[in-house]
Structure 1
Amino acid sequence: MKKILFSMVFLMTYVSSVACDVCKKQQPKVLQGIAHGAGPESQWDYVIVWGTVAITVITLFFAIKWLVKPGEKEENHIKRMFLTFE
């Protein structure tokens, strides 16, 4: 069941990420084949997208960093309540 579910999710993700022929012709060379719809209308569209990518990557980095090594060492920290649940 897990293999079927994973295959369906992978297939839907792949199909939705590949642009159709009409969209390929409307996109600039950098985005051809990976983006749907009309191309960017101005250079500000690129600034907005790359700004969003940067914020997402920074957020992901800190989320993983603090998940792996949180750094709280106090005995009365709230996480101790969940770690020592009895």
Structure 2
Amino acid sequence: MKTYFLTIVAALLTITTSACPVCEKQQPKLLQGISHGIGPQSNWDYALVWATAFIVLLTLFYTIKWLRKPGEDSDAHIKKAILNEC
């Protein structure tokens, strides 16, 4: 568990991005120094990004949850047939 936690922390610390000076001037204060390009054109852009981030985090949560404890206990489940063949 300790190794898993340290791996996650190390991965998060290595994710660093910085914008070039030209792009930095065009960004709103919230995004300055983080992203490239002309930035969001309207509030809909922010809504789409937040909705996408929510969906990604929700998917990540359930992926980890079901990988750790799948919950398929039935003897008729397909995984039992495959595992019993080996």
- TM-score, normalised to structure 2, is 0.75
CA shift for structure 1 position 83 = 3.5
Task: Give me the identity figure in percent.
Answer: 55
Measured in 2, the distance between the counterparts of 1:28 and 1:85 equals: 59
Partner of 1:65: 65
Partner of 2:23: 23
Q: Which runs of 4+ in 1 moved over 6 A?
A: none
CA shift for structure 1 position 82 = 4.0
1:83 aligns with 2:72: no
Task: Give ranges in structure 2 of 5+ residues lacking alignment.
Answer: 1-10
Give the secondary-structure state (helix, strand or coil) at the position aligned to 1:30: helix
Partner of 1:37: 37
Task: Give ranges in structure 1 of 5+ residues lacking alignment.
Answer: 1-9
Q: RMSD of the TM alignment (CA)?
A: 2.0
For these two proteins, the number of residue pairs brought into alignment is: 74
- TM-score, normalised to structure 1, is 0.75
